[in-house]
Amino acid sequence: MSSNPVCIHDFEKHAKDILPKAVYDYYSSGADEQQTLKDNVAAFSRWQLCPRVLRDVSHMDLSVTILGQRISMPICVSATAMQRMAHPEGEVATVKACRSQGTGMMLSTWATSSIEQVADAAPSAVRWLQLYIYKDRMLTKSLVRRAEKAGYQGIFLTVDTPYLGKRLADVRNKFKLPPHLRMANFKSLDLAFSRKDYGEDSGLAVYTANAIDPTIKWQDIDWLRQLTKLPIVLKGILRADDAREAVKHGIVGILVSNHGARQLDCVPATGEEGVHKVLEILKEEFRLALALAGCRNVSEVDHSLVKRSPWATSRI
């Protein structure tokens, strides 16, 4: 990197400078007109912090417990597919960085490093598997079994992708994996996203339509729970009634997510050295924000610390 990055925006700019256009567009773009992508960023500016003072924040504890695992901070790496498009080490570098920072990593089913490769690279890291339910249920079952055997500590089931969102940049780029890469968890060319020709559409949209089961419903959650004793989290919940239904089906947690604005548009907002540095920046930003808000640990954070903007108005 030509200059020392000091914030996440610096990393984003560097990525745009060095990645092939189709790869950068895949990582950075949202669905359709990208209204939700814009709102994901703008949503944070609609809230203001109301810090407490005189609280002795000389000693800080950022750690939290997730699915029974203690991690160093409430910041983890969510599933990002096909990371070797950005760096030859891909997901292996990411899990090593997560281990060094003491936080968790969710591995995408569509990773370019296999479940086993990532586990072998960092056996002591907190690892979860992000899962899609495939039309081939035996294939889905085998992914769960492999995660169990490799020591993953939970399953994050993506529930907002019966079909892939219309990502216009990917359509324009006719997005597909570079020829030297494949989705490493699969053997066949079709399932490994390794076909040469996907027509005029986004290759990933064609892949999803062919492979992922659009009939998935709540009864399938019960089927998945019967397959494994690992805790199951539903990724992609946005409605309170869906959250209540998840509890009825024995789900231990939900991940409130609009899929990075990459599925349905206009819904509400919610390299190893490089990854290490990004996590380090996020951790320090969180530590400083916590301290300046007058909190010594995460348990002291409550609703009184945030107000929707504008939170005070003049009556003069």
The Cα 94–Cα 75 span in angstroms is: 14
Question: How many Å is the maximal CA-CA distance in the chain?
Answer: 71
Determine contact, residues 129/109, Cβ cutoff 8 Å: yes
Determine contact, residues 103/78, Cβ cutoff 8 Å: no
- Alpha-carbon Rg for the chain, nearest whole angstrom, is 20
Q: Is 249 a catalytic residue?
A: no
Close Cβ partners of 117 (under 8 Å, ≥ 6 residues apart) = 91, 92, 184
Q: Which of 9, 59, 180, 259 is catalytic?
A: 259
Structure tokens at 58: 């000389």
Determine contact, residues 251/232, Cβ cutoff 8 Å: yes
Task: List the catalytic residues.
Answer: 259
